[in-house]
Structure 1
Amino acid sequence: MTVIYEDLGPQGQIMGVCAPEFSGVLDAFRANFLTGGEVGASVCLVRGDDAPVDLWGGIAQAGTADAAPVPWHHDTIGIVYSCTKGAAALCLHHLIDQGKIGYDDLVADIWPAFAVGGKAATTVAMMLCHTSPVPHLREPIAAGGLTDWDYMVDRVAAEPAFWQPGTRQGYHALTYAWTVGNLVRLIAGQPLGRYFADEIAGPLGLDFHIGLPAALESRVAPMIAPDRAEVNFASRFFQAATRESGSLPNLFLTNQGGADFNARDVHAAEIASANGMTNARGLAGLYAPLARGGAGVLRADTVARLGRVCAATLDDAVLMQSMRFGLGFMASIDNRASGGDSLLIGESAFGHVGMGGSVGFADPAAGIGFGYTMNRMGPGILLNARGQGLVDAVYQALGWSSPDSGAWRV
């Protein structure tokens, strides 16, 4: 294992460890800073019981007139947006493994208030794979609403179905926090954030939080908005989001109750679709046991389900591009030919992207867990060039062939 310390000048340093056979990942990480506009970031690869790549670097917080920039340290954390959905899904699978609920069970039997407005036929599996009929809320979310658990649960329960349950796929960008999240709360008898801490993150030793304690706030790297010049506003998604008031893409981007995801109240809340706080080590550590058949977290038969696509479409009702989902996790997605956003991982791999470009995934065929987080968000709605370059470097180092089929293959 090689200890890394590289001075990037005003951009800070790159530090950590990298095994020689994964030097291409270090090269890609360095290039992200030098030519890719990276500000602060971390990348981690876990294989078996080892972490052959564990790197961090750059700037976590910009300097001011009164203070120097804060470097990205080994324990810097940041919001990983929809990567949180993978953690939320894992909690529900954990309860299913204990026999406390089944994939085909009706949500109405657990959460009777949800069974209104055409939603009564919704199953637990539909909640996980984004075919539940509540991808968003039509009417405006009240100011501060995302941080008010009871308010959001009541709103989601009362929302009329956007389609007959299970007949359409539409990414539950925000509502996943209360569809899957409330199922976990009702079945476990405690909030999802606490269940995740006690049953998943704690036993695995993960620095991963859904509902960040105030004592950890000083370690957070604030998010930097993407450069508008990089955003493809000509895409179907952004055309609808900016021009079609009330459309699902428009609701996704605009109906969030004015939430500031850099604010303490949002960090402290339980929003299990969007406010998980961790770094690359936390994401890789979450997925590494799943790459080893569950490794005490889930049964091997359950893990086998996670990489199996259960919902796929050429036209997601929210993202307006092709998408492939397993039970709570994204599979490899190739939208390069259509100009959409992609996630190119192994065919048996599964994980989740976060808005701006963070990603975590397991690849059982490769035996790896991977994580990447950053503070300067990229354009688009899935992985961007910085994250994909790191993923590609990992598969290249493993000797895999190519992603030209739409997924990396041996």
Structure 2
Amino acid sequence: MSTVREYALPSGVSGWADAQFDWVVRAFARTHAGAGSGGALAVHRHGEPLVNVWAGESDSSGTAWDADTGAMIFSASKGITATVIHRLADRGLIDYDVPVAEYWSEFGANGKQRITVRHLLSHRAGLSSLRGLAGQGAEVLDHLLMEKRLAAAAPDRLVDKPIYHALTIGWLLAGLARAVTGQGMATLYRTEIAGPLGVDGIHLGAPPPGSRTRAADLTGSRNFIGALRRIQPIADRLTAQPGPLTDPLRILYTPGIAEMLDGDAPTILGAELPAGNAVCTASALATMYGALACRGRTADGKQFLSPQTVAALNRVQTFKIDRGLLLPLTWRLGYHGLPSVGTLNGFGHIGAGGSFGWADPKSGISIALVQNRVDERWIAMDQMAAGWAVPLAMAAARRSADTGARRGESAA
């Protein structure tokens, strides 16, 4: 039986939420209701939805966001892609400490024979540079080409050192999964994630015809795309020279990268970019992280991942500062932690603009925020959304649990 006590939501916010989460919902409303873009927030505890709210607009014509609106979550896609790998490992198809080349023979070229699956998942493969892989943005849209080039590439000086593989990790994990299953990552999103979880709102790229999920456009990101174009001449020159000073830019930039984000139907949505173009609803993303927060078990009692696998993926792989992000993110196996109050027991992945999915195994809480805004006017605040949403949601969940316990005592 549900223990949710719904209340009147703030103006401009639709959906429903437990009354104990009022602070979380009000914070969400201040950043998304009437902002010219839109988003959604979901919080689950032990698989039970406690918050499912949305606000704002999903496209330039002013279409209202709704429960089935999905946003492209940029780098938060990496958490889903990593979960695909964990599902395969759970069935014994992949071992984290085995060299990738034992599964994907082409990957053994140019001195990569000792790079393991664990290296990939913890961003220590020495294959982070996008500029060294793709000479122009259009090539980024060809996932088979990117997988082939990574298989043939030589690792750089940073093997076994953490540097954020901002886009390359997606193709590395997709190539590994393809070698093991014979299937591409878009298919595996359906067969390994959405299908077993019973959700529609997790897709790699644009949702297919017949899906309930409708992808929001990037109307809230137009200013950011314009800013990318303005810095392009400088970025072209800087990223032509590899080295520690340009590494943070080379992991994300290659000439023409802004064009794939442009327009009402951006070309990025038609591609398979496992590190950056998943389209998700907040509710579906919270459902996936809910299984990770509950020892691999879903709300209906199915075992999505074994408890042993979930325990392994939450172990910190490195405490060193990431050389691409210049932050101590404490990489797990495909996820990261956050060095802030209220987040230390959890893990997940944040994307550009602040979309994120999060699991807290200690409490059984999962949280997801998705939105279609990447804007230099908001980006500093948006990128830290997990910094306020996770602590507020955790505090509200504790209050909700305490209230439920008191009601139970009173009834007794």
Task: Please indicate the TM-score interval, normalised by the length of the shorter structure.
Answer: 0.7 to 0.9
- Equivalence for 2:333: 327
Relative distance call for 1:188 and 1:79 in structure 2 (3 A) is same
Amino acid at match of 1:367: G
Amino acid at match of 1:202: G
- Asked if the contact 1:105/1:124 (under 8 Å) is kept, the reply is yes
Relative distance call for 1:256 and 1:33 in structure 2 (3 A) is same
**Equivalence map 1:49-64=2 (5 Å):** 49-63=47-61
- Asked if the contact 1:306/1:350 (under 8 Å) is kept, the reply is no
Q: Which of 84, 108, 119 is equivalent to 1:115?
A: 108
Relative distance call for 1:162 and 1:39 in structure 2 (3 A) is same
- Equivalence for 2:96: 103
Relative distance call for 1:159 and 1:42 in structure 2 (3 A) is same
Q: Matched residues in 1 for 2:277 and 2:342: separation? A: 24
Tell me the matched-pair count.
369
- Equivalence for 2:271: 269
Q: Matched residues in 2 for 1:261 and 1:101: separation? A: 34
Percent identical: 28
- Asked if the contact 1:4/1:14 (under 8 Å) is kept, the reply is no
After superposition, what is the alpha-carbon deviation per residue over 1:8-63, rounded to whole angstroms, capped at 9, x for unaligned? Answer: xxxxx31011111111111211222469x573110000112321100001111133
The answer for unaligned runs of 5 or more in structure 2 is 228-233, 298-302, 400-412
Amino acid at match of 1:135: S
| 1:222 equivalenced with 2:220 (yes/no) | no
Specify which structure has the higher proportion of helix.
2
Relative distance call for 1:393 and 1:143 in structure 2 (3 A) is closer
**1:360, CA displacement in angstroms?**
0.3
What SS does the aligned partner of 1:313 have? coil
The normalised TM-score by structure 2 is 0.82
- Equivalence for 1:150: 144
- Asked if the contact 2:239/2:250 (under 8 Å) is kept, the reply is no
- Asked if the contact 2:207/2:213 (under 8 Å) is kept, the reply is no
Q: Matched residues in 1 for 2:86 and 2:184: separation? A: 15
- Equivalence for 1:210: 204
- Equivalence for 1:312: 319
- Equivalence for 2:27: 28
What SS does the aligned partner of 2:388 have? helix
What SS does the aligned partner of 1:377 have? coil
After superposition, what is the alpha-carbon deviation per residue over 1:138-177, rounded to whole angstroms, capped at 9, x for unaligned? Answer: 15434521221221112212222112632x1110110011
Relative distance call for 1:52 and 1:305 in structure 2 (3 A) is same
- Equivalence for 1:81: 74
What SS does the aligned partner of 1:117 have? helix
The answer for unaligned runs of 5 or more in structure 1 is 8-12, 64-68, 232-238, 335-343, 401-410
Moved more, 256-265 or 356-365: 256-265
- Asked if the contact 1:4/1:15 (under 8 Å) is kept, the reply is no
Amino acid at match of 2:173: V
- Asked if the contact 1:121/1:165 (under 8 Å) is kept, the reply is no
**1:345, CA displacement in angstroms?**
4.9
Amino acid at match of 1:27: R
- Equivalence for 2:188: 195
Question: CA RMSD, aligned part only?
Answer: 2.7
